[in-house]
Structure 1
Amino acid sequence: MGYQLKENDTLLSEPIQLEEILILKEKLDPESKKQYLLLRNRVYKTYPYARIASMRLVAIDNTMDKLKTNKEKRKYFKIVEDYMENEFTEQLKKLSRKQGQILVKLIHRQTGITTYELIKDYKSGWKAFWSNTTARVFDINLKTPYSPYEVNEDYLIETILFRAFNSGRLVKQESKNPVSYDDLSDFWEQKALKKN
């Protein structure tokens, strides 16, 4: 092409960062691809809420540790609860059932505690029971854990998050129980090989 690279050329001294390209062995059938894209969009929509919930819980815990009496703690928590209800209630009401199910899993991923346990710890067991009963009407179980090694959908969620973090689509926040994506992928690949 008429170009010659010399040893003092800047191209040789500076690395070039290329965008990662994933090559899959199998092509998804149209229905599977549609389901994956739906799941991806649901994760993109709900992950920011789980991330915010995790950050707020850390802030609440830090402040609660500084308060001396239970009366101060209850008063502070009531203020925070009212603020969060006003900020998020309308947005969360617009989530679909499936998005709600994914949000429950992502909250567990980010906090290390199921949504049911969070309500029980911060409010009461009675409130947690009724919240879960109400959620069950909408086919959402607040006790659902995030289990990427046991549940295929959770593995796909972890895959979507991994790719979104690497591409800059979502802001990464470490989960309470970090998962090695390479180990997880190997685990599911071995499981698929055994099944076939």
Structure 2
Amino acid sequence: MNGRLLLLTVLLICTVSGASAQRHGKGYYNQRVEVQGSDTIPVIDMWPVYVFKRPIDMRRYARLVRNVKKVYPIAIAAREKLRETEEHLLTLKSKRAQQAYIKQVEKELKAEYTPVLKRMTFSQGKILIKLIDRETDRTSYELVKQLRGSFSAFFWQGVARIFGANLKDRYDKEGEDKVIEQIIMLYEAGLI
């Protein structure tokens, strides 16, 4: 009996010390021990594992990853700014005050994002249009129409079409934007 208890204690110590030596590895992020009845069970929380189909053209995929990593933070910032703007617009009573606030927000956005947007490629702009739809559930065309009016939306749609983009593009995470969705999952998990 004492020999079994000693052997069990040694095995448990080796298992726990071996697992804690790997604590800083990339396989898991938390390791603990739970006691259930008379059993001691090691519990290890694993990082999520993503399995995707391998891209055919790795250079094109690497370029897409670089472009998504550049524009995804802008799409998230746009979502937050839109949420803040809509909340503030609800507190304003008059149409004139709402229009003045929208012009103020537009001026701030131009000052902050014009340098960034000028350095964007056409591919990054197209991805940004789709990611704004993903984050806000509204196309860029709908947002411009809501905030600036139908004429502005029509004008900017025309400008976008000249450069090969479409403000009315929808994000399709199950279809043509499946790879972008996978890249975003990896980005949010901190794996790329």
Query: The TM-score by the shorter chain falls in which range?
Result: 0.7 to 0.9
Root-mean-square deviation (CA, aligned residues, Å) is 2.4
- 136, 156, 180: which one pairs with 2:179? 156
Alignment partners' CA distance in 2, 1:9 and 1:135: 60
Give the TM-score taking structure 2 as reference length: 0.76
Q: Which residue of 2 is the match for residue 5 of structure 1? A: 11
Could you tell me how far 1:163 is from its partner in structure 2? 1.2
- 142, 160, 170: which one pairs with 1:145? 170
Does the C-alpha gap of structure 1 residues 27 and 64 become closer, same or farther in structure 2, counting only changes over 3 Å?
A: closer
Query: What number of residue pairs does the alignment pair up?
Result: 162
Answer with 1 or 2: which has the greater Rg. 2
Could you tell me how far 1:165 is from its partner in structure 2? 1.2
Q: Which residue of 2 is the match for residue 179 of structure 1? A: none
- Dislocated runs of 4+, deviation >3 Å: 7-12, 14-24, 26-29
Structure 2: gaps of 5 or more residues: 1-9, 20-31, 34-41
Give the TM-score taking structure 1 as reference length: 0.74
Structure 1: gaps of 5 or more residues: 170-196
Identity %: 30
Alignment partners' CA distance in 2, 1:115 and 1:123: 12
Q: Deviations over 1:59-108 (max 9, x none)?
A: 00000001011011011111111011101011111100000000000000
What secondary structure sits across from 2:172 in the alignment?
Answer: coil
What secondary structure sits across from 2:68 in the alignment?
Answer: helix
1 or 2, which has the higher strand percentage? 2
Larger RCO, structures 1/2 (Cα 8 Å, 6+ apart): 1
Does the C-alpha gap of structure 1 residues 22 and 73 become closer, same or farther in structure 2, counting only changes over 3 Å?
A: closer
For 1:1-196, list aligned pairs within 5 A: 4-6=10-12, 9=16, 11=19, 13=33, 15-20=43-48, 22=50, 28-29=55-56, 32-151=57-176, 154-167=177-190
Alignment partners' CA distance in 1, 2:47 and 2:91: 45
Alignment partners' CA distance in 2, 1:27 and 1:143: 30
